[in-house]
Structure formats: C-alpha cells, structure tokens
C-alpha cells in the first residue's frame, strides 16, 4: 500500500484500497458496531474486506451477523435502528439477496427508520443482460426507499457511501439502498478519507427545515388558543421518538399539565405510568383515550400524521376540538388529512423548547383540574379489561404478568396481529425506543428478527419478542440465529391456532366466514422446533394456574428462552373502531364499558382498508 498522507485529516487518506475496503472503512468511520447480512457471489469482495477488518486487532470490530435469510437481516438492522436511533446496516448479495430485503426497506420507509442496505450487483458491463442473480435493484427499490444509489463510477464510491448515511439519518429518517457492482468492489484506487456528493436541493430543504424557529408571534398565537381551551390534549406520534423529542415533549406536558395520547408508533414517548399519560388512541386504542380525544377542545398533534388507523373518519376525528395545532418535520403532513388552525414545520425538540420558554416567560398558567378529573374518570370507567374468570388462558393475562416483572423497562418487540395490539394495550414503557413494532406496513414476521437486532444494540437489556403463531412462522428460521449467537432473547408465542386478527374481522364484517384464516396449519410443534434450534429452555403453557410461576422462570432464565402459550382462540382485540368509523361507534366488547349503545358496525366498503 502507498504511504499514508499525513496532511489529510483521515489517518488512512492516500492509501490504495479496493472499493470493498473503502466501503468497510467508511462503515467504521460512521460508527457502525454491528451489521447484518447473508453472503453470495456478488457481495463476496465486501464480505472478505469485513473479515480482514475484523481480523486486525488494532481496529474496532464490526461483527457481521448471519441470519436465516435476507429479510431477517433487514429486520435485524431495523430493530437495531429502532432501539438506538442510529443507522442500522444490512449487507446482502445481488438478485434474490437484494429482493428479499424489499419488505424491510418498505417497512422502514413507512415507519421513518434509518437504515443502509448495501447490495452486491453483477459487474457493471453485465447490468441489463439478465446475468446470473441480476435484479434491477434501483428500479425495484426506488419506489420504496428514501433513496437508491447504483454506483457505476468507482471514483464516486466514497462520497456515495458517506452521503447515503447522511440521507438515512437526516430530516425524516429512512432507508437508503446502495447497489454496488462486483467490479466496483474489486476496483483499486486512492482512499481520500473525505467527501460527500453534491445534493444542493436536499441539503437546502433540510437546512430550511432545521433553521426554522418558532417566532414570538407564533408562540403567542399558540398560547392564545391554549388559554382559550378548557380541555387540551397532546396527540403524539412516532415523529417524536424519531426526532429525539421525547424529553422535550414530556417537559411540555408536565409544565403545562396537558394529557397525552400516543399512536402505536408513539408509544414510549411519554412514560405510560405518568399521571398525564392517556394511553394509545385509534382503531385499537384504549376506550378512555379515544373518548378523551372526542372530548378535547384543543388537539395538539406532535410528530403524528392523522393516519387511517387513528383518524378513520377524518371529519369526525376530535369532533369537539375548536382548534388543532400540528408540529412536524415534514411539510407534506400539514393539512394532508385534517385541516389545522396552527402549524409549525421544524425540528421538534427546538419547537417544543421554544413553546416551553415562551410559556414560562409570560407566566402562562391554567387550572385544568376539571379536565384532569374528567380524564381520570374516563380511565376508571372505561378501563382496559377482559374475562378474568375464564378457565382458558387469556392473552391479556400473560402480558400483565410479564409487565408485572419487567415494570416498563424491557425492550418489547412484536410480530403483527392480535398479539401486537394486546402488547400495545397492556405493556408499560418508561422510555422511548423500548417498543419495536411494524406500524404502517404491518409486516408479519417482524418481531423475532427485530428483537435480535435490538439485543445486539443493547446486550445488557431484557429483550422480549411477543409473537403470534402465524406471524412467527414468517421468520421462524431466526430462532437458530438467536441460539447461534447465544442471545438471551425471550420469545413468547401466543398460539390461537390461526390468524386471529383476520378471524376477528371475518366474524365482525364477513358473517363468520373464516376463509383461509386458520390456514389449516395446525401441525407445527413449536417446542420441538425451538429445541431443534438449540433452545435449552422451551416450554408450552396451557394451564392457567401455572402462568405466574412459568413466566417467572421464563424471564429469569439467563439465556435464550422460548414460551408457547395456548390462549383462548376466541380472545379478541377490544376496543375496536371499524374502518372509516368515528370513535363514537367504537366496539368495546363485553368487558370494557361503552358510553354508546353497542351496535355491530356496518361492513366495510369495497375500498376500505383492512
């Protein structure tokens, strides 16, 4: 190698490196401490460079974790990113390796998760020739990723990889895909150790958003609406967590005494045990949360987007709110679904801090004790509940028992389905980034690999995957990843022998016609499967009286543990707001008090979403 250029700030500047070595060096420069991926011919040069890097004792290692398939790798990288706020990294081969990551990429885009996917590609000269394991990655990923780079000029490799990290983590975070032909990986050139691509449009828009500050006049207008309010409510979404604004949001709520409801993605933005926390709102939100939103007269949306799971009927959402304020980082979200009275686009921590400072400097104070008492009464009368006397094991009971032990401090990952909603409803979360779930995409199979990524991010923390029998099947091969790396991930499978959420919809909206919802897949012995993959602790729980003791043992086990729970197959997710329906039409089930006459919702129209 050529001598190091000591005049450059990077200690390796001036050295001759292959493209693969440059990629790995930039990953190290970006602070990557673990990556996830599956090998293959078109990515072998980069995998070899990773091996060489990790063999050098003078360098900080970057372990490369091998999953059962590339979708698992993508969700592991996403789980890492969701649990830390840092960029997750996935490295896969061309063709099917790349296409297997499309779902994690779209999932991360939908939930604003920063991730880098590095794909191998056939040599530059073979692109477009239907070469072995070739796929048009740029075309496929372009519609689902925040950005895609196809590197055909190796001299731009360094700048491209650095820029990809910049795009992934700035503004509204998201996944960036780098498609690297094999010849670019094998190319040799001089490592500059610096440089980014010119993105004047993107950086200008980003600078415009980041420089926006709440002026005194805007603050005065906001507090004028707040002063005229008797029942203010904070409606908080995942943007608060993605924007690292949880601390400012909590301070804002506490300073002015404003209750908080969160979306599915906003769970953990406020401590769920806090006196102002009013739980999750929306389609499967707590009845008291939804009623409180109906009753509020000033709704303050922060990092939320009024999506269909929350505002099923936008015109009747927050129907008594005389004013709605909206703070977000994305201009496109303002007035997209619901017209608002006041808005601010900018960095959320700064905006909330500005409002706090203005309120304090003007001595703003309001007595909202009547509203607080009203919210407390809603919590009491319409509390979450279920059939506690049933002889069958109720899934809510399982989650309550785990929550009793973890006390809101565990990282909880989920698949998608009924178990996901039960976990959202019955777990406590004291901090942000403890709740990992596929929100907008609703991707079954997310839970287990995401838990693995989170465990690598936080090896000292308790990580639990709450899954369903149908959802966990989607990436069941990752059980072996857990034991291969001896991760203390705890996996709970709430088994109701079928697609419980689909069955619930079929009961409510399709006259009980269970078309394909049991899949007739009842032969799986999950315990034997877990044992075959190396689990020393793998048990089935099917007796209600055994629940407390078995869960204590399960959580206390020091290594990987797998618990299958045979739950009541008819257990439902309630409350439920039918698609396109207002909160006043909420179905609360048999065990949660409703303040509306219980009527079956009308069947969804042909265009209604699931």
pLDDT tens digits, residue range 338-367? 999 999 999 999 999 999 999 999 999 999
Largest CA distance in the chain: 80
Distance between CA 325 and CA 575 in Å, rounded? 27
514 is an active site residue: no
Count of the separate structural domains present in the chain: 3
501 is an active site residue: yes
Same domain? 411 vs 442: yes
Residue 282's Cβ-count burial label (10 Å; 0-12, 13-18, 19+) is: buried
In a domain, 609, yes or no: no
Lowest mean pLDDT among 177-181, 219-223, 510-514, 570-574: 510-514
Distance between CA 610 and CA 600 in Å, rounded? 17
Same domain? 299 vs 239: yes
Identify the band that residue 223 occupies on the pLDDT scale cut at 50, 70 and 90.
very high
- Residue 391 contacts residue 453 (beta carbons within 8 Å): no
Whole-structure pTM value: 0.94
Same domain? 232 vs 171: no
Catalytic residue among 76, 265, 444, 501: 501
Catalytic residue among 1, 51, 132, 331: 132
Distance between CA 586 and CA 567 in Å, rounded? 25
Q: What is the pLDDT of residue 604?
A: 53
**What is the average per-residue pLDDT within 398-420?**
97
Beta bridge partners, 540, equal 564
In a domain, 584, yes or no: no
Asked if the model's pLDDT at residue 414 lies above 90, the reply is: yes
In a domain, 152, yes or no: yes
Q: What is the pLDDT of residue 7?
A: 53
**What is the average per-residue pLDDT within 443-472?**
97
Asked if the model's pLDDT at residue 38 lies above 80, the reply is: yes
Distance between CA 50 and CA 46 in Å, rounded? 6
Q: What is the pLDDT of residue 437?
A: 98
- Residue 286 contacts residue 382 (beta carbons within 8 Å): yes
Q: What is the pLDDT of residue 1?
A: 35
The residue assigned the tokens 């990987």 is: 560
b/e per residue, 539-574, with b = 16+ CB within 10 A?
bbbeeeeebeebbeebbebeebbbbbbbbbeebbbb
Number of CB atoms found within 10 A of residue 366's CB: 16
Q: What is the pLDDT of residue 502?
A: 79
Same domain? 140 vs 278: no
Asked if the model's pLDDT at residue 559 lies above 60, the reply is: yes
Q: CA dist 417 to 272, 471, 577, Å?
A: 22, 7, 15
Same domain? 356 vs 225: yes
Same domain? 282 vs 174: no
* Domain closes at, from 549, 566, 583: 566
Q: What is the pLDDT of residue 597?
A: 64
Reading phi first (left if > 0) and then psi (alpha if -120 to 50, else beta), residue 589 is in: left
Catalytic residue among 62, 133, 497, 509: 133
132 is an active site residue: yes
Identify the band that residue 499 occupies on the pLDDT scale cut at 50, 70 and 90.
confident
> What are φ and ψ of residue 77, in 5° steps?
-60, -40
In a domain, 596, yes or no: no
Catalytic residue among 21, 146, 165, 182: 182
Asked if the model's pLDDT at residue 471 lies above 80, the reply is: yes
Q: What is the pLDDT of residue 157?
A: 98
Same domain? 482 vs 555: yes
Same domain? 401 vs 546: yes
What are the tokens at 163?
């820029």
Identify the band that residue 501 occupies on the pLDDT scale cut at 50, 70 and 90.
confident
Q: What percent of the chain has pLDDT over 70?
A: 96
Domain extent, residue 424, equals: 395-566
Q: What is the pLDDT of residue 519?
A: 64
* Radius of gyration (C-alpha) of the chain in whole angstroms: 25
In a domain, 239, yes or no: yes
b/e per residue, 518-531, with b = 16+ CB within 10 A?
beeeeebebbebbe
Distance between CA 491 and CA 464 in Å, rounded? 6
Q: What is the pLDDT of residue 603?
A: 54
70 is an active site residue: yes
Distance between CA 466 and CA 436 in Å, rounded? 10
Catalytic residue among 22, 25, 36, 70: 70
**What is the average per-residue pLDDT within 385-397?**
97
Same domain? 363 vs 467: no
- Residue 90 contacts residue 75 (beta carbons within 8 Å): no
**For helices 70-84 and 102-110, angle between their N-to-C axes, nearest 10 degrees:** 20
Nearest to 63 by CA among 26, 36, 88: 36
What are the tokens at 11?
């200690």
In a domain, 599, yes or no: no
Task: Please report which helix (H) or strand (E) contains residue 148, including its range.
Answer: strand 147-150
Same domain? 87 vs 168: yes
In a domain, 571, yes or no: no
Asked if the model's pLDDT at residue 567 lies above 70, the reply is: yes
Same domain? 76 vs 110: yes
Q: The CATH number of the domain where 217 resides is what?
A: 3.40.50.1220
Same domain? 372 vs 237: yes
Q: The CATH number of the domain where 180 resides is what?
A: 3.40.50.970
192 is an active site residue: no
Asked if the model's pLDDT at residue 6 lies above 50, the reply is: no
Identify the band that residue 515 occupies on the pLDDT scale cut at 50, 70 and 90.
confident
Contacts of 196 (CB under 8 A, 6+ apart): 159, 162, 163, 166
What is the side-by-side strand order in the sheet with 323-328? Answer: 277-280, 260-262, 232-236, 298-302, 323-328, 342-345
Q: What is the pLDDT of residues 593-604, one digit of tens each?
A: 999 765 555 555
* Domain closes at, from 329, 348, 381: 381
* Domain closes at, from 180, 208, 236: 208
Q: What is the mean pLDDT of the chain?
A: 94
In a domain, 414, yes or no: yes
Asked if the model's pLDDT at residue 2 lies above 60, the reply is: no
């Amino acid at each position: 190698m050529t001598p190091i250029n000591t005049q450059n700030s990077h200690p390796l500047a001036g050295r001759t490196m292959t493209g693969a070595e440059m990629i790995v060096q930039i990953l190290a420069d970006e602070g990557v401490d673990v990556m996830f991926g599956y090998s293959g011919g078109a990515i072998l040069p980069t995998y070899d460079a990773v091996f060489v890097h990790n063999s050098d004792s003078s360098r900080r290692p970057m372990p490369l974790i091998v999953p059962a398939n590339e979708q698992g790798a993508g969700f592991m990288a996403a789980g890492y990113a969701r649990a830390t706020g840092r960029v997750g990294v996935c490295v896969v081969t061309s063709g099917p390796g790349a296409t297997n990551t499309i779902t994690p990429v779209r999932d991360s885009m939908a939930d604003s998760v920063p991730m880098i996917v590095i794909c191998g590609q056939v040599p530059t000269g073979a692109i477009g020739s239907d070469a072995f394991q070739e796929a048009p990655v740029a075309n496929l990923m372009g519609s689902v990723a925040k950005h895609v780079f196809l590197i055909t000029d190796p001299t731009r490799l360094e700048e491209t990889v650095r820029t990809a990290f910049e795009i992934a983590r700035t503004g509204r975070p998201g996944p960036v895909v780098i498609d690297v032909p094999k010849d670019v990986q094998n190319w040799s050139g001089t490592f500059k150790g610096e440089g980014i691509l010119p993105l004047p449009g993107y950086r200008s828009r980003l600078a415009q958003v980041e420089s926006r500050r709440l002026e005194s006049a805007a603050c005065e207008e906001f507090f004028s609406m707040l002063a005229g309010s008797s029942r203010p409510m904070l409606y908080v979404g995942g943007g608060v967590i993605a924007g690292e604004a949880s601390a400012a949001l909590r301070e804002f709520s506490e300073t002015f005494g404003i209750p908080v409801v969160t979306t599915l993605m906003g769970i953990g933005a406020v401590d769920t045990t806090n006196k102002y926390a009013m739980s999750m709102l929306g389609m499967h939100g707590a009845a008291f949360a939804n009623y409180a939103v109906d009753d509020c007269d000033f709704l303050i949306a922060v990092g939320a987007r009024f999506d269909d799971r929350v505002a099923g009927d936008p015109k009747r959402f927050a129907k008594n709110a005389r004013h709605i304020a909206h703070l977000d980082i994305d201009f496109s979200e303002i007035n997209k679904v619901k017209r608002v009275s006041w808005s601010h686009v900018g960095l959320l921590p700064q905006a909330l801090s500005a409002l706090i400072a203005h309120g304090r400097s003007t001595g703003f104070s309001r007595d909202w004790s009547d509203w607080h008492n009203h919210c407390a009464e809603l919590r009491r009368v319409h509390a979450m509940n279920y059939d506690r006397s049933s002889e069958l094991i109720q899934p809510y009971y399982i989650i309550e028992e785990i929550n009793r032990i973890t006390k809101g401090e565990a990282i909880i990952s989920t698949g998608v389905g009924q178990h996901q909603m039960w976990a959202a409803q019955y777990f406590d979360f004291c901090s942000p980034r403890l709740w990992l779930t596929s929100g907008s995409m609703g991707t079954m199979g997310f839970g287990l690999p995401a838990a693995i990524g989170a465990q690598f991010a936080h090896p000292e923390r308790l990580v639990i995957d709450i899954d369903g029998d149908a959802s966990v099947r989607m990436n069941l091969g990752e059980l072996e990843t857990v034991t291969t790396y001896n991760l203390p991930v705890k996996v709970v499978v709430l088994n109701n022998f079928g697609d419980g959420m689909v069955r619930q919809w079929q009961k409510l909206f399709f006259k009980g016609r269970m078309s394909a919802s049991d899949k007739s897949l009842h032969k799986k012995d999950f315990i034997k499967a877990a044992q075959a993959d190396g689990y020393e602790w793998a048990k089935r729980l099917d007796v209600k009286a055994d629940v407390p003791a078995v869960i204590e043992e399960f959580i206390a086990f020091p290594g990987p543990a797998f618990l299958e729970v045979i739950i009541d197959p008819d257990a439902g997710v309630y409350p439920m707001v039918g698609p396109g329906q207002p909160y006043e039409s909420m179905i609360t089930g048999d065990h949660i008090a409703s303040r509306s006459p219980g009527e079956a919702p009308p069947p969804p129209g042909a265009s209604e979403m699931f």
